[in-house]
Amino acid sequence: MIMAIDVGNTNITVGVFEKDEVIATFRLTTKMPRTSDEYGILLVDLLEQNKIGCDVILDVIIASVVPDVMHALEGALVKYLGIRPMIVEPGTKTGIRIVTENPRQIGADRIVDAAAAYELYGGPVLVLDFGTATTYDLVDKDGAFVSGVTAPGIRISAKALWEDAAKLPEIEIRKPESILAKETISSMQAGLVYGQIGQTEYIVKNMIREADMGKVKVVATGGLGRIIANETDCIDVYDPNLTLKGMNLIYKKQNRKMGRTLARTDLERETER
């Protein structure tokens, strides 16, 4: 089995694959500082809760946009699973060509999403990820990442409301019964959710129009993506595990020894020293 770890700004999402099937997923909070031992104990415990033994995890792939957690997380995987993980970074075979002006500025999560959407749904494809930020990434029919738009995510917008407006409370993000809100909480929910729907439809329509690529498949993912996908016809597919699937697909493209072998070699070198 292969473990895929998506380190995002808000959550660390973990998926375990048996061939191409996701057999378990779980999440950790990213912003809470943790040591390698804390990460290791949490991962082992969550695997056991899903009835997965550590010994059946043969390798790990990580896509991260949070460099600060990587040292502790990689250390945990070596110490508790005996695996030196593969990191998605510039030079990794993904099946996607980055043809923007500054390819190295494209986050690993966006590249992984693009690779998954292109391989699973074909091109041209527009990939929407409703995470901490909401991103819109366009891949052409030949697998080239040609354009990306970045906007504040729903949670960022919500946090700005209740932190910067003294009388507005912290609320649950969900679609209210009507856009014709009659009190504070539903008015905030209406603004956040319907505002995101309007933004999504406008950006999708204009990206497709300006790209002039003909029929473009629109694929969405991300924690709050389901709320938006259910409310607009501009999204063709909502795939909650798109990023994890992308990492599994990318892993299979590599000519790599198993992580357990790499970790064992590293430990042997340290012992020799």
Question: Catalytic site residues?
Answer: 109
Contacts of 49 (CB under 8 A, 6+ apart): 26
**Residue 147 burial (C-beta neighbours within 10 Å; 0-12, 13-18, 19+):** middle
Beta-bridge partner residues of 217: 125
Q: What's the first-to-final CA gap in the chain, in angstroms?
A: 32
> Is the peptide bond preceding residue 90 cis, with omega within 30 degrees of 0?
no
CA dihedral 47, 21, 215, 101 (to 10 degrees): 50
User: Tokens representing 40?
Assistant: 């290791």
